[in-house]
């Protein structure tokens, strides 16, 4: 507002009294010349060109449709009567017509000033999914202005997908590229939002509608997407809508180099195809397919290094062999064994089939008894020998059992059968007799049964 006020105030600087005295209609032209010059700043040449155009318009207006200001002096306005005869309008109508014409010319001039800057973008209407979406733009905006180019999904709800910022370099073209690999098929739009300070850009195009086309469902890959490196990349697939024809294949390697193609390979009667591509290194390979309708899609294949088992050196622990000895044993005549050459702990175990009992003395001479497994599993015990000789006494748990028993000693050098009773077992040469109570109860039960039969 302040700028316009100062501009209007500055119009009188460019007033020429001589012309005003000669022709009061031409004089306002020089008033507005100051106004335009202020709006354009130091662009003096543009000011002169615009003011010249307005001067020519008013000159034609003066010559053909001159309408003077109200004045009764016939000497000062010699063409007054002629003008009245030409127009045939009352004086008030002529004043209004003059004012309306003057305002129309001024508004058109201002519109031309406002529409000086433009910005337009261009994008393809259809883009295959996976192909880059290239947006080109032209602008005559001043250099250094940043412009956002936004990609929206334009379906039921507008959703922003990506945004790129471009710094204009003056009246030059610019390009923005959007990746469509992760987009789904449908309708999108590319738009340049409003630029601060440039609300009206005249005849500009800042919105373009783009449709993403996805044809990957037309092709089915049969070869594995992850393959082991063997020097070739196996490609097998089927395109039902492309029978007895051909499909163009291109393979891009891990370093973005072209490994194969683009080259057409044949499709059979059912649309199937197969091809082995020679490769040198493992990595991710991008395989793209194109037919006569255009781009179909790109499929990634991961090639892993060939598996080579590595031998891990292992330290074998020294194998501990067990020494054995066998002897006949019964409840009344136990078997005695001696174990020698033990360094520390010795694992003692018996043979299975009989519920054996193992007795041995500890380091204080106390006799310890082991009977935990029963008849099916062998008895086991680990004895800390302290490098001394170990004496064992083995006998069956039940009175009626007897047989050969084998003793296994792991961690000892030798084991033997003692011919005499070791001194540690002299006090218990025979097992401790079991309580006679169970036998007494059995006899009592038999007696009661006999008496019952006698009475009945």
Q: Any idea what the CATH number is for the domain that residue 200 is in?
A: 2.60.40.2950
Percentage of the chain with pLDDT > 70?
A: 66
In this structure, are 331 and 373 located in the same domain? yes
Structural domain span for residue 329: 322-428
Residue 86 pLDDT > 60, yes or no? no
In this structure, are 209 and 221 located in the same domain? no
In this structure, are 282 and 361 located in the same domain? no
Q: Comparing 345 with 453, which gets the higher pLDDT?
A: 345
Q: For residue 365, what are its two tokens? A: 């001479």
Q: Which of 46-50, 96-100, 219-223, 421-425 has the highest mean pLDDT?
A: 219-223
pLDDT at 87: 54
In this structure, are 192 and 132 located in the same domain? yes
Q: Is residue 439 part of a domain?
A: no
Q: Is residue 316 part of a domain?
A: no
Instruction: Give mean pLDDT, residues 119-148.
Output: 88
| Torsion angles phi and psi, residue 440, rounded to 5 | -60, -40
Which residues in 239-318 belong to E strands, given as ranges?
Answer: 246-252, 258-266, 272-278, 283-291, 294-304
In this structure, are 417 and 333 located in the same domain? yes
Residue 15 pLDDT > 50, yes or no? no
In this structure, are 198 and 260 located in the same domain? no
DSSP label at 245?
S
Would you say 388 and 298 are in contact if contact means Cβ atoms under 8 Å apart? no
Would you say 129 and 297 are in contact if contact means Cβ atoms under 8 Å apart? yes
Question: Is the whole-model pTM more than 0.75?
Answer: no
DSSP string, 19-69: HHHH-TTTHHHHHHHHHHHHHTTT-HHHHHHHHHHHHHHHHHHHHHH--PP
CATH number at residue 234: 2.60.40.1930
DSSP label at 13?
G
Q: Is residue 450 part of a domain?
A: no
pLDDT at 50: 52
Q: Is residue 347 part of a domain?
A: yes
Instruction: Give mean pLDDT, residues 224-240.
Output: 93
In this structure, are 350 and 362 located in the same domain? yes
pLDDT at 285: 95
Per-residue burial over 359-386, b = 16 or more CB atoms within 10 Å of its CB, e = otherwise: bbbeeeeeeeebeeeeeeebbebebebe
pLDDT at 7: 42
pLDDT at 294: 85
Residue 275 pLDDT > 60, yes or no? yes
pLDDT at 62: 53
pLDDT at 224: 93
Instruction: Give mean pLDDT, residues 147-171.
Output: 89
Q: Is residue 87 part of a domain?
A: yes
Q: For residue 27, what are its two tokens? A: 């004089």
């Amino acid at each position: 507002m302040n700028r316009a006020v100062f501009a209007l105030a500055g119009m009188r600087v460019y007033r020429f009294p001589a012309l005003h005295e000669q022709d009061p209609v031409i004089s306002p032209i020089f008033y507005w010349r100051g106004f335009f010059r202020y709006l354009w700043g130091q662009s003096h040449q543009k000011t002169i060109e615009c003011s010249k155009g307005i001067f020519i318009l008013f000159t034609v207006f003066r010559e053909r449709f001159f309408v003077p200001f109200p004045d009764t002096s016939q000497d000062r306005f010699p063409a007054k009567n002629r003008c009245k005869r030409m127009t045939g309008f009352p004086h008030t109508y002529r004043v209004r017509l003059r004012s309306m014409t003057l305002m129309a010319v001024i508004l058109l001039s201002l519109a031309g000033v406002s529409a000086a800057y433009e910005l337009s973008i261009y994008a393809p209407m259809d883009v295959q999914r996976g192909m880059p979406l290239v947006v080109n733009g032209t602008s005559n905006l001043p250099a250094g202005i940043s412009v956002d180019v936004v990609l929206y999904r334009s379906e039921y709800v507008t959703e922003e997908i990506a945004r790129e910022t471009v710094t204009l370099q003056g009246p030059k073209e610019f390009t923005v590229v959007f990746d469509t690999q992760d987009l789904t098929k449908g309708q999108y739009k590319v738009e340049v939002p409003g630029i601060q300070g440039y609300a009206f850009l005249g005849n500009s195009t800042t919105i373009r509608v783009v449709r993403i086309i996805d044809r990957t469902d037309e092709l089915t890959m049969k070869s594995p997407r992850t393959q082991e490196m063997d020097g070739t990349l196996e490609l097998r697939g089927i395109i039902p809508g492309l029978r007895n024809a051909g499909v163009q294949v291109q393979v891009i390697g891990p370093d973005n180099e072209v490994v194969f193609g683009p080259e057409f390979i044949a499709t059979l009667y059912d649309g199937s195809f197969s091809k082995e591509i020679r490769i040198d290194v493992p990595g991710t390979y991008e395989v793209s397919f194109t037919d006569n309708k255009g781009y179909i899609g790109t499929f990634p294949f991961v090639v892993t290094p060939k598996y080579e088992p590595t031998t891990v050196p292992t330290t074998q622990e020294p194998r501990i062999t067990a020494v054995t000895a066998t002897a006949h044993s019964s409840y009344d005549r136990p078997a005695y064994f001696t174990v020698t050459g033990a360094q520390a702990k010795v694992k003692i175990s018996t043979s299975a089939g009989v519920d054996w009992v193992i007795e041995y003395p500890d380091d204080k001479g106390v006799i310890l008894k082991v009977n935990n497994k029963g008849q099916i599993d062998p008895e086991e015990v680990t004895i800390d020998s302290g490098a001394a000789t170990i004496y064992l006494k083995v006998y069956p748990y039940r009175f009626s059992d007897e047989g050969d028993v084998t003793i296994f000693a792991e961690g000892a050098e030798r084991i033997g059968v003692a011919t005499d009773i070791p001194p540690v077992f002299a006090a218990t040469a025979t097992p401790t007799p079991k309580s006679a109570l169970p036998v007494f109860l059995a006899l009592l039960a038999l007696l009661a049964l006999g008496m019952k039969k006698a009475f009945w």
